[in-house]
Structure 1
Amino acid sequence: MDPIKTRRDGAILEVTLDRPKANAIDLATSRIMGQVFAEFRDDPELRVAILTGSGEKFFCPGWDLKAAAEGDAVDGDYGVGGFGGLQELRDLNKPVIAAVNGIACGGGLELAISADMILAAEHATFALPEIRSGTVADAASVKLPKRIPYHIAMELLLTGRWFDAEEGHRWGLINEILPANQLLDRAWELARLLASGPPLVYAAIKEVVREAEDRKFQDAMNLITKRQLRTVDVLYSSEDQLEGARAFAEKRDPVWKGK
């Protein structure tokens, strides 16, 4: 069976991880996910992606340990986007929403925090239990201390303890908590809002945020003002930039063309 299900509606792509019983990711599944998200990145008609898991219990528990026991190498070929197709995918300048429908632990939590926004079902739970199996949550060790307070991130990494959606929301990791039966509806509502927005601006925002992360403020601003970032240069020379100004002057909604 295909471990990844996709649904396309207009400019929105829904990607569902569907590997019973727990939606764990093996090497083959990771490579498929990388291909799916690379095609999403490169398709000019697609503007927003939603990532979720099948069923009501698991979003994703991360690495498939059963597959590992049968020969999948933990340092094997994860595919073009790294583990889960998102963590290392270059130039992904479109919004991605994670709709966490259940347990998200280990690599599953790392996958969720690779998205731009996280919606969670009320019953969703989270953990980074790698410490208990003698390994490192590598992507989380890089990203989590930049997403939430340092001491909380270190506690989660060093203890591997579980936390619920409410705590995740309190630390700013989760945008919204919803009843399970409303999770995907809200994800699609948010995706439609984003899909109606200016895609060139979104691309510039994502590249600026990415490039500015490890730079001093003025160095990052110089990249922008001197148009040294590709997406910013495209935006400042685009029809959409003129359309935004005209729509404001004419007191109407802009019509974005993405060019």
Structure 2
Amino acid sequence: MENKNTSRVVIGVLVVLVLLLGGYIAVSGGKSAATANGASEAAALPMETYQAQYVKPETPIDRSKNVTLPGWGGFTIPAKTKKITQGFEFHNPAENLWYEDWVSLDGTTLEKLVVDSGQTTELSHYLRLAGIQAEVTKVLDADPAYFEIQKTDAGAYTIEAVKGYKGEKTLTVQTDDGKQYTLTLTGKEECYYIAFGLYLEDGDELLFQSGLVAPGLYVQKMEMTRALAPGEYPAYVVCQPYLSDRTTKTNSGIVKLTLTVG
């Protein structure tokens, strides 16, 4: 009887060991499979629904007009007087007055065109500035008195501003996707003012400083800081342009000359 009980205990222990071993194998095998196939069994992340080919954004081109500076070889002024009304010339060239057309789409200003500058711009460029990736295939409305529209050999439509105006004009284009866009071109007058400073090279002595001179005008009279004795003086003029706001300076120019006093 005792042997039978012992046998039953041994058998029970063996059964428990077999069950434990089977469970260990099952768990170990499952972990190995998960490790081996983890990359394929892991849930893949969803793709972004709204995707499109990346196109580098278009950037505006600086089409600012360069200032035109006058040039001189020399001045001849009277001696022994500070008030000079002849023999000098401080003028602001008429070329420093011009018109600009500011191009906008749906109220957003994109870029400017300088009138009568010879600059041409692809109309599709303005659409790209507005984030529209399309090519202009037709120009439906443009005033030929103010805008010259041309088509290049490559099929691109370009615009050139040929006449100035004040106010707004519109230009409608059609693109390769069949859509139409209306560009607004706002014309305004723009200019450079110039202030003139006359210096002697000796000690960089300032003899005269003008106020702002408008395009097409000149200084009629200058009162120097002192009268000069007869002779020839190496001198120079500092030409300082200002934008139309009359506060913002642009790059200045220096013109060397001989100041003849007699």
TM-score, normalised by the number of residues in structure 1: 0.19
| Greater strand fraction, Structure 1 or Structure 2 | 2
| Greater helix fraction, Structure 1 or Structure 2 | 1
TM-score, normalised by the number of residues in structure 2: 0.19
